[in-house]
Amino acid sequence: MSMIFFACVVRVRDGLPLSASTDFYHTQDFLEWKRRLKTLGLRLAQYPGRGSAEGRDFSIHFSSFGDVACMAICSCQCPAAMAFCFLETLWWEFTASYDTTCIGLASRPYAFLEFDSIIQKMKWHFNYVSSSQMESSLEKIHEELKLQPPVVLTLEDTDVANGVMNGHTPMHLEPAPNFRMEPVTALGILSLILNIMCAALNLIRGVHLAEHSLQVAHEEMGNILAFLVPFVACIFQNKNGPFYV
């Protein structure tokens, strides 16, 4: 009987998922617990060490050391010692496979997706190998849990209220200014027509001087610019003038 349903490896400082097991469960309750696990993963920096959150059918266990944490969704029948033994073994395997530099530089979710095959093998081992074969490891974890019990979280600690994670201050967004376009008056239309005529006249005169400058010295370039600059100014005046208030 499967007792460990899902497992993932998370970077502690920002909750970035580094790798995860293949998901074979798609019930509504299970998807809800995956959402809770993701929310809790963003807050692992607040809970160093071991912790658990238990519900009616599922429980979340996590084990955090350094900047790497391992998390699992288990059946409520799964003993805590077995869950934490699995997570500790998973942590050692992952940190032995990837150095701290690679983990720190990871910028996208599931950057170490190939580690999924290792998670799957370990899940199968802990789900189907008898407890007697892991007796020494389970006893060691059991004694550690007696000396230092894991943090017990409530379901509210793993929940998201109104899209805002508990313990985080919501962002207040200011409404954007509302600019209203006003109709162009008769004076504005007249101004637009005169500006277009002036711009066209300056363009024609500038082009004529440009053709002429090919046959004369470079001193004529100043005269060309004297007409082209007013032309450009007229264009910008049309854009920002009578149409906008």
Of the candidates 12, 83, 17, which has an alpha carbon nearest to the alpha carbon of residue 43?
12
Domain boundary among 101, 136, 153: 153
Residue 201: what pLDDT?
Answer: 75
The conformational region for residue 66 under phi > 0 = left, psi -120 to 50 = alpha, else beta, is left
pLDDT tens-digit profile, the chain (245 residues): 679 999 999 999 999 999 999 877 788 999 999 999 999 999 999 988 999 999 888 999 999 999 999 999 999 999 999 999 999 999 999 999 999 999 999 999 999 999 999 999 999 999 988 777 788 889 999 999 999 999 999 877 777 543 444 444 343 334 444 444 456 677 778 877 887 887 777 777 766 766 665 555 555 566 656 656 665 666 655 555 544 43
Q: How far is Cα 70 from Cα 103, in angstroms, rounded to an integer?
A: 14
Count other C-beta atoms under 10 Å from residue 53's C-beta: 22
Domain boundary among 101, 130, 153: 153
Domain boundary among 153, 175, 206: 153
Rounded to whole angstroms, the maximal C-alpha distance in the chain is: 102
Residue 180 within a domain: no
Taken in order 126, 131, 133, 134, is the CA torsion positive or negative? positive
Domains of the chain: total:
2
Residue 179: what pLDDT?
Answer: 40
Contact criterion met (CB below 8 Å) for 5 and 30: yes
Q: Are residues 51 and 108 in the same domain?
A: yes
Q: Are residues 134 and 26 in the same domain?
A: yes
Q: Are residues 135 and 222 in the same domain?
A: no
Residue 243: what pLDDT?
Answer: 42
Write out the residue range of the structural domain in which residue 131 sits: 4-153
